[in-house]
Amino acid sequence: MRSRRTGHASGRPLNFTVRRQRENRPILFDASGTQAKRMKSERALISAAVRQRFVCVEPRWRQYIYGAIYIPLAAERHLVTLKRDGRTAFLNELEKLAALGSPWASAFLGYQALLLTPEGTRNIERAIQLCKQPALSGDAYAAYILGWATFLRGDHAEALTHFRRATRQLFPPAVLDSVQFFWSAKWRTEPAGVLISLRQAKNVGHHATSLFRSAVYRTGKLGIRRLLLGLLLWPVAALYVRAASIRDPFSAQSFWFDPRNTHRVLGLRE
């Protein structure tokens, strides 16, 4: 389609092509779409890499272990003890493994020690003793539990060091917890910065990211639109987390430590 105008100076008709303008627009939208696809592709690659790095046992073991906790594939042959001989024999075997330096056994027992007892206490020093050496040796799971143990003891600077070690290895619970730690420190001065932490948690594929996002949005500190979105997102996110904990209970992408949890969130078959 062509349109004709008369130039003011020469009086000659000037032609311009509308088609060329229309052709430019899809290029811009295509670039934006390509960028979105690239981000989605990168997120999928990161999530897949995390799953390969932190491979877990199959969900079928949930008939012997009740609750969501990260159990790496290396633990599977030891779960046979739980299946065959029960809870006490399994815990005794974990104690032996931890004494020999097994990172996952140390982290499992450390997590158990941090859960609140009926009296409202937790064995922080035991968790630190169990996880300190494997964490310093580079295990992300042990570093994460050690981070929480030292945090609950009140050593926040040391805890941050351990959390960072776990986060650098893309351990999903540590990346997720960076959301609440950032929010606790910066919600007054730099609230929008939490969006970066939320994006990182989403990239590593943690199933509770939408739940944390909803909690942050519902504070209203990020604007009315996100407040409304948070209210709408909350029930859906809660159902999704519940479904993920049933579908994939032993994945690092389902697990995170909640200091309010009691010993009842982790059960072993007798």
Encode burial over 139-167: b for 16+ CB neighbours within 10 A, e otherwise. Answer: bbbbbbbbbbbbbbeeeeebbbebbebbb
| 165 contacts: CB under 8 Å, gap ≥ 6 | 135, 138, 140, 143
DSSP state, 13? E
* Average pLDDT over every residue of 237-247: 94
Question: 219-224: long-range contacts (C-beta < 8 A, 24 or more apart)?
Answer: 219/187, 221/187, 221/191, 222/191, 222/192, 222/194, 222/195
Q: pLDDT tens across 131-169, in order? A: 999 999 999 999 999 999 999 999 999 999 999 999 999
pLDDT score for 42: 73
Q: pLDDT tens across 187-209, in order? A: 888 999 999 999 999 999 999 99
Spatial distance between the Cα atoms of 2 and 43, rounded to a whole number of angstroms? 45
Q: Given its phi and psi angles, is residue 57 left (phi above 0), alpha (psi -120 to 50 degrees) or beta? A: beta
Q: Output Rg (C-alpha) for the chain, integer angstroms.
A: 26
Structural domains in the chain, CATH included, are 54-268 (1.25.40.10)
pLDDT score for 20: 39
pLDDT score for 144: 98
Write the DSSP assignment of 138-180 as a string of letters: T-HHHHHHHHHHHHHHT-HHHHHHHHHHHHHTT-HHHHHHHHH
Lowest mean pLDDT among 101-110, 145-154, 261-270: 261-270
186 pLDDT more than 90: no
Q: pLDDT tens across 53-84, in order? A: 999 999 999 999 999 999 999 999 999 999 99
H or E stretch including 6?
strand 2-6
* Averaged confidence pLDDT in the chain: 87
10 pLDDT more than 80: no
**Look-up of token digits 């300190």:** 132
Q: pLDDT tens across 14-41, in order? A: 343 334 334 444 433 444 567 666 767 7
